[in-house]
Amino acid sequence: MIFVDTGAFFASKVSNDINHSSALLIEGQIQEGRYGKMITTNYILDELFTLLRGRVVHNELTQIGESIRNSPNIRIIWIQEALEAKGWEFFKQHQDKTFSFTDCMSFVVMQTLNITIAFTYDSHFEQVGFQIIQ
């Protein structure tokens, strides 16, 4: 399994993003089964759709959203109250870091599911001890 972060989705969908080429390459490797099933969260999708809203037309955004939400290759973890509480505790324990709350939720999901690899352009994942693919 590989966790897919906001920036990776964004880079793969926005052709003028600096990481677009590498994101397409990695996305292809994932589709070939190199890293296993893609895992993300509804928090990541919230960030992605909000970020895309100002950069692409609404119709394109909804097409991107539908393709992710309906993909058999992407498992979306829906953050429920108990998991959110763990993320909040992680967030509180790392006041010396600049982790976003969504980052903390991602870390907790990865730890819970024993995922060690993230497709991300965010170095915070490495700071917590995950391997990143970029």
Q: How far is CA 125 from CA 29, 66, 68, 71, in A?
A: 20, 27, 22, 25
Q: How far is CA 68 from CA 40, 95, 101, in A?
A: 10, 32, 22
Q: How far is CA 79 from CA 39, 45, 68, 83, in A?
A: 13, 11, 17, 6
Q: For the segment 89-117, what is each residue's pLDDT rounded down to a tens digit?
A: 999 999 999 999 999 999 999 999 999 99
HSE of 7 in the Cβ direction (CA atoms, 13 Å)? 17
Q: Which domains does the chain have, with CATH numbers?
A: 2-133 (3.40.50.1010)
pTM (predicted TM-score): 0.93
Measured in degrees and rounded to the nearest 5, phi and psi for residue 70 equal -105, 5
Task: List per-residue pLDDT tens for the chain, 134 residues long.
Answer: 999 999 999 999 998 999 999 999 999 999 898 999 999 999 999 999 999 998 888 999 999 999 999 999 999 999 999 999 999 999 999 999 999 999 999 999 999 999 999 999 999 999 999 999 98
What's the Rg (C-alpha) of the chain?
14
